[in-house]
Amino acid sequence: MNERNILVVAHAGRDDTVDAARRVIELLRTAGARPVLSPDDRAELSAVDENFSDVDALGEVVPVDELELAIVLGGDGTILRAAELVRGSVAPIVGINMGHVGFLAEIERDAMDDAVERIIARDYVVEERLALSVRVKDSDGAVVFETWALNEATVEKASRERMIEVVVEIDGRPLSSYGCDGMVISTPTGSTAYNFSAGGPVIWPGVEAISVIPLSAHALFARPLVVSPDAAVAIEMLERTTGTGILWCDGRRSHDLPPGARVVVRRSSRPVRLARLHPSAFTDRLVRKFQLPVAGWRGSDGGRTA
């Protein structure tokens, strides 16, 4: 039988996360699976506890395409890092929240042992989330940078004192130009992240769409847009702009944008896969994570809403 390789993603910055990583690795080994750490995580954790040094390293001993699943110990930022680590494989990600808002995290840490047991039993469903393909072209139209995003791609001003001037294009047609601090192009998964902070709409995960939000735009038409998931969204740095810009994808991957640069964003052919142990209504997740007031709700009369 093939080895069951389970990636554990954790950092050494918090004692409870180190303890959780130690426990998850122990449970996986007891169940006959092989725990795997990224080289960076293994180095950081080994500096705290040398016992982590005997865990096999991703890419050195275990190829990414041989991963079965990734267990993430942390918040949404750690899950985004895990998505980067498993990119190129079909391994789904399950998040164990370690005290953050954790919108993407599936379960809380007090249910960690049960979660590992269910992962070993393959007792979960896999949910595919729309991801973005992102390309940067220079003023001559040549592709100079390619990446992807699970939450969002943002075009932002690189200098605090200068705004940027951009024109937005949807499916090959110009929509509007803006003098602004930037633009956010978000997936439904990212709609509760930067998109939400910028005043964009919360999009239910079952809705396939892409949102486009101007940041502090000097324009009358500066409302958030929701476009087809198959639309091509382009943000072009106008040649007349006096500032330079920068592209950020999930806050992790960046590229400088001089005047004339063009960022093209569309649906990626490769979604991100999330393992769900306790599928629940997204409405309940919103209420719980944002602590929304629902006192006085009388119920839906046996499941009916009308």
Would you name the residues annotated as active-site residues? 76
DSSP strand pairing (56-57 vs 34-37) = parallel
Angstrom distance (rounded) from CA 198 to CA 218: 15
Q: How far is CA 113 from CA 12, 26, 82, 165, 287, in A?
A: 20, 10, 20, 52, 26
The residue to which tokens 């042992």 are assigned: 113
Distance from the Cα of residue 172 to its chain's centroid: 27
Choose among 32, 34, 59, 57: nearest CA to 46. Answer: 57
Q: How far is Cα 264 from Cα 55, in angstroms, rounded to an integer? A: 40
Q: How far apart are CA 187 and CA 185, in angstroms?
A: 7
DSSP designation for 87 = B
